Amino acid sequence: MKTTTVIANDTSSAMDDIISKLGDDAVILSTKHKDGKVHMTATTENVSTTPRRLKPSQQFSKIFESRMLNDQLTNNEKPLELENAFNNTGASTAQLSALRSEMQEIKNMLSGVVVTEPQNLNDNIASTTALKLRQSGFSPKVVKKLEKSYLGKDFESGRVSFLRSLAKTLIPEDLESLKEKQIYYIIGPSGSGRTTLVAKLAALIADNVQSSSIILSEMNNGNGLINENLRGFARLLNLKTSIIESQKAPLHELDRQKTIVDVSSNFVEATESIFQAKKIFGHKNVSVILTLPGGSSNRLIENLCKSTNELNPIIALSKLDECEIGPEEFSKLSELDSKIAIITGTDNIVGSLAISSENVLTQYLKENC
């Protein structure tokens, strides 16, 4: 008679070690999990009148596989019940308990895996919240980062909690002071709704200050002319206009007038003016807003955010009436630690901006993700 105890990373490896040391006649006495390892004790002693002998590990693997791949069996194949399968192989109660524990561990690990063919999983695994969130388009990194928000909840409650947590990560800390800035630089690619955002922001600010103290400015390539769209918005809102050189700060701001600058020149040319303005008027009085239109690809989002990173802009989601921003894009913005301050999706100028509070952004996420 010989008794031995082995320590392995998992049950299957432990059984292999037992068989190699004691042979196929080994009988499992106990299986314990300690410090992430499996401690298995076995003997060659006849411990019962009808000893149960351990079969080779290859058969153990087939039993486990038949359980996990139940949904793949054809109509002519009948899945084995786990208990019956183990009885047929002579496995002990301790082995059955160990396998159940192992299966639960694997199920937990699978909750963090994206499966391209979910029909190959059993219903319990395929319905996990993490898997559904990733299948809907949210990135693995974001789903993992915010897992505390949905763990232990049913899918719908977990989903809403996840979206609210995501919204919190995307909201600027000093959002309440947005209307109090002195200078606003609106940057973004051509066609992003940048000029329209200038007018919408002016209309929002005009609710709190006299229109005579607001100036719509353009920073262009030096032709000395204001584009017709900006000029038209200025007439509509009864506001003054001006031209700002790309290398200089708007000096008329010294008169305490609020200036909203449409940066139609490239970001590099605007950088010097923005840095000068922050130095003259203080960082807290200057805001840089990057317009990001609906339908923007992840590549465009990453390129825009990285190329303007030194300006530390906040994001204005624009043209959402034309195309939405979805899970993939919100994931990318979160991964880049970008902050969303404004949401807009209408051609109207007055009353067309939504300041992106936690509730506002959560609602948008619920409706579009």
Superfamily designation of domain 175-368: P-loop containing nucleotide triphosphate hydrolases (3.40.50.300)
Tokens of 65: 């596989």
Q: What is the mean pLDDT of residues 103-123?
A: 56
> Any idea where the domains of the chain sit in the sequence?
3-110, 118-169, 175-368
> Mind listing the pLDDT tens digit for each residue in 150-179?
998 999 999 999 999 999 999 998 888 888
Query: Which has the closest alpha carbon to 339: 264, 287, 278, 279?
Result: 287
Start-to-end CA distance of the chain, whole Å, equals 64
Share of residues in the chain with pLDDT > 70 (%): 74
User: What span, in angstroms and rounded, lies between the C-alpha atoms of 157 and 135?
Assistant: 17
Q: What is the pLDDT of residue 232?
A: 92
> Cβ–Cβ contacts within 10 Å for residue 248, how many?
12
pTM for the structure as a whole: 0.66
Give me the pLDDT at residue 221, please.
67
Tell me the pLDDT tens digit for each residue of 40-77: 888 877 654 444 444 444 433 343 344 334 434 334 44
Examine the pLDDT at 326 and tell me if it is beyond 90: yes
What are the DSSP calls for 226-261, one per residue? --HHHHHHHHHHT-EEEE--TTS--GGGGGT-EEEE
Question: pLDDT class for 296, splitting at 50, 70, 90?
Answer: very high
- The Cα–Cα gap between 301 and 172 comes to 18
CA distance 245 to 252: 13
